[in-house]
Structure 1
């Protein structure tokens, strides 16, 4: 029986440059957001397992004997290099009472938890008797990697509880991270969770959640950037819903209709991504304001290119105009057509200017967060070092926090 409490977190993600062009073989840069998903895993009464996801209204419990019986069936057909089979997922849906084809966040999150719990237990040991609570600072469905952060947290917690990876937090440390080899294993299992939720994901979101910092993605190849500093941003959710599938199809149609016009735009976006990579990797750990003009100009150019591709939206135009009125530079992040935008904040940006920009954006009905990009990947925490808000969300009292990691 697992007898120690664990608290860990993983970051969300944003696309810095390369949206839509990446679908056509160009470079994209993905960065870790310092808006995080937190997971608490605590030992509980022998013979039961609980999962609570207050953000989507999930509170489920099962007895471990029933799960262990399912687990034996998993062991026979388990191949972690392949996507979860339709038969495995159908069996889990039936077990959990989830309707076939159900795509609500609570259904997919429950399915991913069950799959990862059983698959990891089938490979590394018995189903643990634990109480798992997951809470996130990330908005759902905004293209900010919330499902990947969830999958990374589940993978790290379940692998640690099974003994497949170490528990690296030492006495006196407030945080710790796993070895490169262990992170690779966490990432591979998190990708399986993403496959349950999304079917055919790229693997970028879970890689950002695992390693943090910034990653370069091109034609299926993921490469971490070297020595990227944390940069301040304003992240804005316009709350305008959009369909990534429809937007991607629209860009493809425009490229087929005007190849001589649109292909140079894709090439230019590719050059922007590569130029930004060079600038980021050359920045010192504590960049001065002089380092920012090139990054700001790349934001402006790329935003115009994305408008040319047809993925802009009046809400994003308003975001860019409002922040520009405060001397700030913004672009959409993700699929466009609404969704989210990011605004770069220089180290010398006045707090009054940031607050004024946030007030103007919120007055439009948008939601804003002041955060960082280039944040660390999946991290193990000593509970007593976490904020009262996080402890409350994870149902951990300060007293119980001091007794666990």
Structure 2
């Protein structure tokens, strides 16, 4: 049973292979990034609830009686198997003073918190008066699963606070994880939060945030890969804005216009995803360096395919060219048209080459992180296990 404070974290996500092809029934591989969102939930003495998300400028508080009255006023029951109703969301917007068509990150984050707090307390028992602080290593709006990491953290913390799931951290342990049954419950409620934010999400992002590692996604079916290695990557944000909706529509139009040309490209991307899955599952038992050239070739081939499909952008071509000049292999991740790219780093990649690549990428105006894929999913932390940076961010204000 938790006492006064709970700290949880969840990873972001990247698409390794299968962008755009997944929309047309092909396999996609999603992987957990070792860039995380952290959430601290503390019991507070006053009868109030406070949520602070400094990354998106949210500082909101409400008294518990008002929240309980709001919960009683809902016409429809809360249910983690059903999408939040328009009526429920309209009531929450009115309560929080959010405009009807608001889509800014701070508005959606507030709305998701209110829905999840009320729904979880209605379904599983009252959540006590709490203070919640969120800090993230993930940029927002970059297609890296920042909203799902947030809703996964919220679900885990709120479910722990109301006693719906255990507090598995034992004294002296730095971290702990929940049972499979408890993780499934966290995932279901995190998906509800994603529905509030995105309307009709696939469920991939919150599943990656919950279970970590790597997932296979095809035609709505999500299958976690049993064992995957932690692979080092460079993650680069070109900072070029793009519309996923417009890019998806453009790819669809090209497929309809040239089916005999484009359908084989989709089939090839599907084969790349499946080949990559086979390699990733084989690596933990036999960590041979011979796998890395295969992964690099798959990156190169898939990047060319994505350009053919119309998902490329000059900024991404520049990213790939810069890293290639240092002997590295890159591809876009996500919708393309700008956004982010990933660069595979072999275990024997020279640190000097990595630093030189990062320097050149930053000189292009890009933002760059050296991180890993295949990270662990939602995790409960002891204070002693947190980095100085996280402790500072979660310190008393």
- Provide TM-score, normalisation by structure 1: 0.96
- 2:384 paired residue number: 384
Could you tell me how far apart the structure 1 residues matched to 2:28 and 2:205 are? 12
Could you tell me how far apart the structure 2 residues matched to 1:313 and 1:275 are? 26
Could you tell me how far apart the structure 2 residues matched to 1:155 and 1:125 are? 14
Across the two proteins, how many residue pairs are aligned to each other? Answer: 397
- 2:57 paired residue number: 57
- 1:347 paired residue number: 347
Could you tell me how far apart the structure 1 residues matched to 2:67 and 2:2 are? 16
Could you tell me whether the CA contact under 8 Å between 2:2 and 2:160 is conserved in 1? no
Could you tell me whether the CA contact under 8 Å between 1:74 and 1:118 is conserved in 2? no
Q: Structure 1 residue 46: deviation in Å?
A: 3.0
1:91-130 to 2 correspondences below 5 Å: 91-130=91-130
Q: Structure 1 residue 360: deviation in Å?
A: 0.3
Could you tell me how far apart the structure 2 residues matched to 1:79 and 1:362 are? 46
Could you tell me how far apart the structure 2 residues matched to 1:4 and 1:254 are? 56
Q: Structure 1 residue 69: deviation in Å?
A: 1.0
- 1:79 paired residue number: 79
Could you tell me how far apart the structure 1 residues matched to 2:75 and 2:10 are? 28
Alpha-carbon displacement from aligned partner over 1:362-405 (angstroms, at most 9, x marks no partner): 000000000000000000000122111111112259xxxxxxxx
- Whether 1:335 and 2:335 are equivalent positions in the alignment is yes
Could you tell me how far apart the structure 2 residues matched to 1:331 and 1:340 are? 9
SS in structure 2 of the partner of residue 152 of structure 1: helix
Could you tell me how far apart the structure 2 residues matched to 1:53 and 1:120 are? 20
Q: CA RMSD in A?
A: 1.3
Could you tell me how far apart the structure 2 residues matched to 1:57 and 1:132 are? 14
Q: Structure 1 residue 74: deviation in Å?
A: 4.1
- 2:394 paired residue number: 394
Alpha-carbon displacement from aligned partner over 1:291-332 (angstroms, at most 9, x marks no partner): 201000000000000000001000000110110111100000
- Whether 1:29 and 2:38 are equivalent positions in the alignment is no
Could you tell me whether the CA contact under 8 Å between 1:2 and 1:130 is conserved in 2? no
- 2:151 paired residue number: 151
Alpha-carbon displacement from aligned partner over 1:54-91 (angstroms, at most 9, x marks no partner): 00110011000000111223485222211000111111
- Whether 1:356 and 2:353 are equivalent positions in the alignment is no
Q: Structure 1 residue 277: deviation in Å?
A: 0.2
Could you tell me whether the CA contact under 8 Å between 2:46 and 2:129 is conserved in 1? yes
Structure 1 unaligned spans of 5+: 398-405
Could you tell me whether the CA contact under 8 Å between 1:18 and 1:26 is conserved in 2? yes
- Whether 1:259 and 2:259 are equivalent positions in the alignment is yes
Structure 2 unaligned spans of 5+: none
Moved over 6 A (4+): none
1:175-324 to 2 correspondences below 5 Å: 175-284=175-284, 287-324=287-324
- Provide TM-score, normalisation by structure 2: 0.98
Could you tell me how far apart the structure 2 residues matched to 1:76 and 1:310 are? 43
